[in-house]
Amino acid sequence: MREAGFNTVRVAEFDWVHLEPREGHYDFSFWDRLLEDLQRAGLKALFCTPTASMPAWVAQKYPEALAVKRNGQRIRWGARKNACLSQPDFRRLSRDITRAMAEHYAGHETIIGWQTDNELQEPVCYCHHCRKSFQQWLQDKYGTIGALNAAWGTHFWGHTLDDWSQIEIPDYWISNPGAMLDWKRHYSWLNVTFQQEQIDILRPHFPDRFITHNLMSLFTQVNYHELARELDFVSWDNYPVWNSQTVRYEASLVADLTRGHKARNYWILEQTAGPPGGPTFMRNPWPGEIRSVAYQQLAHGCDGMTWFRWRTCTTGAEQYWHGLLGHDGVPGRRYREAAETAREFHQLAPLLEGTTVQARAAMLYDYDSLWGTEFQPQFEHNDYIESLKRYHQACFDAGVNLDVIPPDRDFSGYRLLIVSRQYVVTAALAEALEAFVQGGGIVLVDARSGVKDGCNRCYELTLPGLLRPMLGVRIDEYGSFGKDTMQVPLAFEGQDTPFPETATAIHYADWLTPETAEPIARYVHPFLGDYAALTRHRFGQGQGWYLGTVVQEPAFYASLIRTLLQEAQITPEIAVPPGVELSVRADAAGQRRLVFLLNHTAEQQVVPLPRPYRDAFSGETVETEVRLPSFDVAVLRNA
């Protein structure tokens, strides 16, 4: 490890049974020896609380610690992540092992920080403890049962409640939408408070060390904005080779979202080291791809990285979740590629100090809207995350960095906001967006936004509801295209349109009437022809755009984003060819800038430069172009 340039080892995340082989009996001897070995080798340890995998004695002594499925069946012990987070004994035991570790290793110089648990997300539990927890959470939120009835609209179907004990866990698609959203919030809150108990124990014993958690990509059960709040920084686990695509659009999106949780740089705690897998394994990273995967995250604001795993396990459920070393333990191509990457990262470290991505465009990521759309999609193929991906990919292809942020963030540092599928719009958010546009900002809103309030009730307003003044449109009616393959062509206004000749509405259409907005595109259809599909509204010093449908062609979204960037006066540093990613890290003053160019393809790419740069490694001047072999990376500085 030391020869490869590694300096930190992540340990202990599933080792509860060895640390506490019997309740209240602790054995730290193995980890004491390991920390001594690491110290002698000049390596540091990132310690993990081991509560993601309960020992057999916990399940045997406290069977209710195991979660219950939706069908009422209790999960059997034998996997990881199988606990009920509202079960009192499990919460107590989790605190006890965390406290024992914190007290035993308090201030240990080899431990640089802590990871709480592992990938907090599942399983969702439906036991009587969770039901009681949900009832108490609702009582704390609403105060009176009458307030809850009003918020949920329980008069519908005669479901009015007169006692908290009557509340059930909503587990059907036809359940009350307000109850469903609150159940999602409650489950997320369980995870947040579970983590908070560990943070509160660790902080006094390690006041000068960081605490983080490894998030799971785009998983949706937990509100990561809230989970991140009390962490020093957030981390995530990156496995882009899980997908078939070589252009790592999704990894770019998750990187921007992870950075956006706290508006702060992040770590990767599980970086792709080989083909991941369980009973079957995914593809092996191609030569150069392990380095490229790592550089993509560095370019988006990653400040620390640990590969998962060091050596491929010979036993257990993850025998085929491959590490840098194979089962034989012999260093090979993957090891050498990681070692090369680590050496380069050390070389770049002085230049990276104090830098982050300085984006002028942002996209909102709202868990209430995500959850609301999950259990009420409203039309076929309406997927919140897939909708956001369309815009993020268009920004990626345009060579522009994008922050992905919670809806309560300060918008004043941005010129462009993308507000996609913002199903839930509070008065505070509507006011913030309106002020942003009036002050000169550009906002794009799309279909099914502004439909619900914070209680998941439909507004008694003509859509787009509270956003109507800013957007200058009204939605007279709306309709799904159903499960069929109905397609409606779009026609753009004017002769010099920047949009492609072919653009096709699919899945859904708002019957959109411009009031003070101007139509940009209309439907070509016998019944929809009087209605706009895309509008622009000049409002104050800014503009509010509205797209009332889903468009089939990616070229449309590319044109739309380029147009919005131009209106917002956001210009990419370098125009990149397809398959090449551009990301820029800079210090707060903008004086020190690192420009990353990543070739995601298996072919050489040539990137023309608008001006001379310096190679960050060699210091040599790069005059007119950069040639990137397959999966290669260039890091440039100002000349």
Which residues have a catalytic role annotated?
Answer: 119, 270
Distance from C-alpha of 305 to C-alpha of 270, rounded to nearest angstrom: 8
Give me the phi and psi of 624, to 5 degrees please. -120, -25
Nearest CA to 108 out of 28, 171, 173 is that of 28
Say if residues 136 and 130 touch (Cβ distance below 8 Å): no
Give me the phi and psi of 628, to 5 degrees please. -115, 110
Distance from C-alpha of 422 to C-alpha of 438, rounded to nearest angstrom: 20
> Residue 613, Cβ neighbours under 10 Å: how many?
23
- DSSP code for 346: H
Say if residues 563 and 555 touch (Cβ distance below 8 Å): no
ω before 229 within 30° of 0 (cis)? no
Place of tokens 């906001």: 417
Single-letter residue type at 457: R
Strand order in the sheet with 593-599: 356-357, 580-586, 593-599, 633-638, 613-615, 621-622
330's tokens: 């012999």
Distance from C-alpha of 515 to C-alpha of 155, rounded to nearest angstrom: 36
E strand or H helix that includes residue 138: helix 128-142
Q: 3-state DSSP call for residue 628? A: strand
Interacting residues of 418 by C-beta distance below 8 A, sequence separation 6+: 361, 362, 363, 364, 388, 391, 402, 443, 444
Interacting residues of 92 by C-beta distance below 8 A, sequence separation 6+: none
- DSSP code for 194: H
Distance from C-alpha of 325 to C-alpha of 332, rounded to nearest angstrom: 7
Say if residues 545 and 554 touch (Cβ distance below 8 Å): no
Burial class (CB in 10 A: 0-12, 13-18, 19+), 68: buried
Alpha helices (H) along 473-570? 554-567
Say if residues 487 and 494 touch (Cβ distance below 8 Å): no
137's tokens: 């959470």
- DSSP code for 2: T
Nearest CA to 409 out of 260, 264, 302, 253 is that of 260
Place of tokens 């619900």: 452
Q: 3-state DSSP call for residue 469? A: helix
Beta bridge partners of 270: 237
Nearest CA to 574 out of 599, 615, 609 is that of 609
> Residue 495, Cβ neighbours under 10 Å: how many?
5
Interacting residues of 108 by C-beta distance below 8 A, sequence separation 6+: 35
Residues composing the chain: 639
Sign of CA dihedral 611, 350, 258, 453: negative
The gap between the terminal CA atoms of the chain, to the nearest Å, is: 35
Say if residues 512 and 532 touch (Cβ distance below 8 Å): yes
